[in-house]
Structure 1
Amino acid sequence: MNIFFYRSFSALTFMKVFFCGLGATLVMDFLNKVGALLGWVYRMDLNFLGCVFNGWINGVYEFKTPAELLASGGTKLQGMVGHYLIGVFFAILLFIVSRIFLLNKREVAAAALVLGLSAAVFSLIIIFPSTGLGIYGWKGGVGLFGTSLYNHLAYGFGLAIFFHFTHLVDVNKS
């Protein structure tokens, strides 16, 4: 591991990475609202996510049906906080990977899209089955699969844009 990684993680850099994670998640939410209005995807349900996070906090990691999950409690605020914190976590992950492997701008953009797809895979094989929707969310219809891919690619796109404009990529490399 190179010394550049350690020198580059200052408080200002952390704030930029934090901002990138929040911004990319906002891009994802905005494009989800647009896509839902156009009828392309399902609208994201932050109350549902709040119930997932509430269950996890209380040690319940699997529900037989979505109705059982919703009956367990949880709030939209919990869903929003958890959703945005996960967005920040993935931004930190991208920053660490970009510094360890000294990625250039194009490579960081590609890595951001791959990270977005990784987040989709996480929701498809971990979150959806734990909520009673089955693997890939098939019990909720094929639209959940497409919605997850759309949303998380939008996140990856937002992350690539925010990393570029906050100059978190090594400017000495092209």
Structure 2
Amino acid sequence: MSNLMAVFFIGIGATAVMDLWSILRKSLFGIALPNYGMVGRWLAYMRHGKFRHDSIAASAPKQGEHFIGWIAHYLIGITFAAVLVGTAGKTWILNPTIGAALVVGVATTVAPFLLMQPGMGAGFASSRTPKPNSARLHSIINHAVFGLGLYASGWALKLYCSF
């Protein structure tokens, strides 16, 4: 299996783990599922040169925003898996370690804090939300779970595929 295919598998797997976590936390804690349609809306507006919104939810809907958001969610997961493999090297694919996966997973929290949340109207690191510290904590936890997903997907790849 090529490195590119490994990155694809690991990214899809880790993102799916994050999505399963979202379903679990909804059933356990009543926390709403992420709305990737809003991410899709934000991305769709970029085509028209609009990168920042006061509130993405208040912006007019865009055709295909849910599809765009879900595709972007998984492409971002694949990209972050590429960051892991790019920094840890092919040796990580051959022998996944939890430390590297968690470091990359938690480090990916920078993307929503610095790009997505400000662009979508939530402010830097959720500063414009009703409970910014809670939102920050949830982002960090979700991305740590993504890191665990990177690790689990790496091990699944190692166990079920040959290089």
TM range (shorter): 0.7 to 0.9
Cα deviation for residue 23 of structure 1 reads 0.7
Deviations 1:45-78 (A, max 9, x none): 0111111221233322111123344x15251100
Match of 2:157 in 1: 166
> Which one of the candidate residues 50, 53, 71 is aligned to 1:60?
50
Q: 5+ residue gaps in structure 1?
A: 1-10, 169-174
Give the TM-score normalised by structure 2: 0.83
> Which one of the candidate residues 118, 126, 129 is aligned to 1:137?
126
Q: Which moved more, 1:152-161 or 1:11-20?
A: 11-20
Q: 5+ residue gaps in structure 2?
A: none
Counterpart amino acid of 1:31?
A: W
3-state SS in 2 of match to 1:38: helix
Q: Does 1:45 align with 2:35?
A: yes
Alignment check: 8 A CA contact 2:52 2:121 kept: yes
Q: Does 1:110 align with 2:99?
A: yes
Give the TM-score normalised by structure 1: 0.78
Whole-Å Cα distance in 2 between the matches of residues 141 and 118 of structure 1?
24
Q: Does 1:27 align with 2:27?
A: no
Relative to structure 1, the CA distance from residue 58 to residue 115 in structure 2 (aligned partners, 3 Å threshold; closer, same or farther) is: farther
Match of 2:6 in 1: 16
Q: Which moved more, 1:72-81 or 1:45-54?
A: 72-81
**RMSD across aligned C-alpha pairs, in angstroms?**
2.3
Match of 1:151 in 2: 142
Alignment check: 8 A CA contact 2:38 2:69 kept: yes
Relative to structure 1, the CA distance from residue 139 to residue 37 in structure 2 (aligned partners, 3 Å threshold; closer, same or farther) is: farther
Relative to structure 1, the CA distance from residue 167 to residue 86 in structure 2 (aligned partners, 3 Å threshold; closer, same or farther) is: same
Match of 1:6 in 2: none
3-state SS in 1 of match to 2:122: coil
Alignment check: 8 A CA contact 1:48 1:79 kept: yes
**After superposition, where does 1:52-91 map in structure 2 within 5 Å?**
52-69=42-59, 71-73=60-62, 75-91=65-81
3-state SS in 2 of match to 1:167: helix
The structure number with the bigger radius of gyration is 1
Percent identical among aligned pairs is 26
Q: Which moved more, 1:152-161 or 1:134-143?
A: 134-143
